[in-house]
Amino acid sequence: MSVMDQTCPEQIRDVMLDCVADGVFTVDEDRRVTCFNRAAEMITGVPRAEAIGQHCFDVLRGSRCEEECALQETLRTGRPVVCQGCYIVNTRGQTVPISISTALLKDREGKVIGGVETFRDLSEIERLRKELAQTYTFRDIVARSKPMRRVLEMIPRVAESSITVLISGESGTGKELVAHAIHDLSPRSDKPFVAINCSALPDTLLESELFGYKAGAFTDARQDKPGRFAAAEGGTIFLDEIGDISPAMQAKLLRVLQERVYEPLGSVEPVRADVRVVAATNRDLDQRVQDEAFRQDLYYRINVMRLKLPTLRERRGDLPLLVEHFVSKFNAMQGKNITGVSQRAMLVLMQHEYPGNVRELENTIEYAFVLCPGGLIEVYHLPPELHDGSSSEVSEEIGHVTLQEMEVMHITETLRRHQGNRDAAAKALGIHRATLFRKIKSLDIRVPDR
């Protein structure tokens, strides 16, 4: 007689359930636990012997146990629950996020004898989600470097108030994205966000665009037209390149900021503006004030809170992360399956100075997508000005890239090539698995999903 023949069905059931990674337990019709597997013990901290016979809500102590118990609902209606999120409190007093599924438990004749619940520990997923939230923060702002993180840490606090904000930084550093983030996190988020490039229009057009006009204000003005301030009522107006406007236009803007009123062209009655102003410039306004090209009183009005965005050269450690972000973005937009950037191409990207900052990097990756049919982006897929048209003459010098940034880039790329498998990546890097784990933590490396 085999060992299996000598084993009772309950023992076989317990052995099988103990092999399952998810917590599993069964209850009778009174919701008293009749079976409790090993994973359930590990997640809750409750030994099986203690759990058996207790009410399930006394064992799990979940956020839905009292009023919205999924298992109770299944026993009452017969309908299963699939992947419902909630929290339980383990024996150490820790809150554990879980996902639960429930179903009826029936005997061989089909009679309901209780219920079964499976639950999955989401602690690791929650931790990774929080890490991801720190890496990809506020819309498409991708940042891991200290200079940019300092800005991101200020955004929620700035967003809570209604003060005027001045965002300074070179072209392509993401000033409008930051302005969007301030609006999205503010109490005005349900109202419009309206942007206008002040340097793109002459004074006469800019004034009508900002404040609108009344019918008859000028030739062809046959009906009233509201301006951008009216369109942004209750929300946020983003005045990009405010440092380029003329002194006459500066005086009109000053009145709006001081009095919170404006007059549409052709009108003699002021209109009150309930609008938050976020301005941006790539110019040195301090110097322009000294040169008397920018009004000092307007400068003080818009410079209540200042956020200075670093150049891509100052946050070069973000470059591999930005490249990964743009590859994912263009894969989704163009329906391609480009897996990333080769190490040699990444070295070329890291060496470039990027006078156009993040926008230039994005355009570079978009250019490479046109030439790369699939697989990895190589040096010859990049714009010629980055490598002089010859992939064989790429400098091996790191330039302004630090050794730590190169290490981050190399480990990230190796993890990506091995689909996030740490064991395979450690072997490819020639280091112990524990060393790789230590470097991932100390260098704040985001491990790609498998």
CA 50 vs. chain centroid, Å, equals 43
pLDDT in tens, 159-197: 988 899 999 999 999 999 999 999 988 999 899 999 999
Residue 450 lies in a domain: no
Task: CATH number of the domain at 90, please.
Answer: 3.30.450.20
Q: Are residues 357 and 424 in the same domain?
A: yes
Q: What's the rounded mean pLDDT across residues 39-68?
A: 82
pLDDT at 396: 45
Gyration radius (Cα) of the chain, Å: 30
The strand pair at 236-240 and 193-197 is best described as parallel
Q: Are residues 298 and 413 in the same domain?
A: no
What is the spatial distance between Cα 383 and Cα 392, in angstroms, rounded to a whole number? 15
31: left (phi over 0), alpha (psi -120 to 50) or beta: left
Q: Are residues 98 and 137 in the same domain?
A: no
Q: Are residues 178 and 284 in the same domain?
A: yes
Q: Which residue did the predictor score with more confidence, 281 or 16?
A: 281
Indicate the pLDDT class of residue 10, thresholds 50, 70 and 90: low
Q: Are 409 and 346 in contact (CB under 8 A)?
A: yes
Which two structure tokens, joined as six digits, stand for 307?
């956020």
| Other Cβ atoms within 10 Å of 271 Cβ, number | 18
pLDDT at 235: 93
Q: Are residues 142 and 257 in the same domain?
A: yes
Q: Are residues 395 and 270 in the same domain?
A: no
Classified as helix, coil or strand, 121 is strand
pLDDT at 135: 43
What is the spatial distance between Cα 324 and Cα 416, in angstroms, rounded to a whole number? 10
Of 308, 329, 364, which one is at a domain's C-terminal end?
A: 308
**Is the model's pLDDT at 4 over the cut of 60?**
no
**Is the model's pLDDT at 226 over the cut of 80?**
yes
pLDDT at 277: 94
Residue 90 lies in a domain: yes
Q: Are residues 32 and 60 in the same domain?
A: yes
Residue 157 lies in a domain: yes
**Is the model's pLDDT at 5 over the cut of 60?**
no
Task: CATH number of the domain at 437, please.
Answer: 1.10.8.60
- pTM of the predicted model as reported, rounded to 2 decimal places: 0.59
Residue 114 lies in a domain: yes
Q: Are residues 99 and 156 in the same domain?
A: no
419 phi and psi, to 5 degrees? 50, 35
Classified as helix, coil or strand, 296 is helix
pLDDT in tens, 360-418: 999 999 999 999 988 889 999 999 988 765 444 444 444 445 556 667 777 877 787 77
Task: CATH number of the domain at 183, please.
Answer: 3.40.50.300
Indicate the pLDDT class of residue 213, thresholds 50, 70 and 90: confident
Q: What's the rounded mean pLDDT across residues 147-157?
A: 87
Residue 126 lies in a domain: no
Of 92, 121, 150, which one is at a domain's C-terminal end?
A: 121
Q: What's the rounded mean pLDDT across residues 255-266?
A: 87
pLDDT at 368: 94
405 phi and psi, to 5 degrees? -65, -40
Residue 209 lies in a domain: yes
Q: Are residues 175 and 205 in the same domain?
A: yes
Q: Are residues 297 and 324 in the same domain?
A: no
Of 259, 275, 308, which one is at a domain's C-terminal end?
A: 308
Give me the domain span that covers residue 335.
316-442
Residue 265 lies in a domain: yes
pLDDT in tens, 274-330: 999 999 999 999 999 999 999 999 999 999 999 999 999 888 878 888 888 888 888
pLDDT in tens, 124-149: 766 666 554 444 445 567 777 788 88
Residue 430 lies in a domain: yes
Q: Are residues 152 and 285 in the same domain?
A: yes
Q: Are residues 95 and 146 in the same domain?
A: no
**Number of domains forming the structure of the chain:** 3
| Other Cβ atoms within 10 Å of 310 Cβ, number | 21
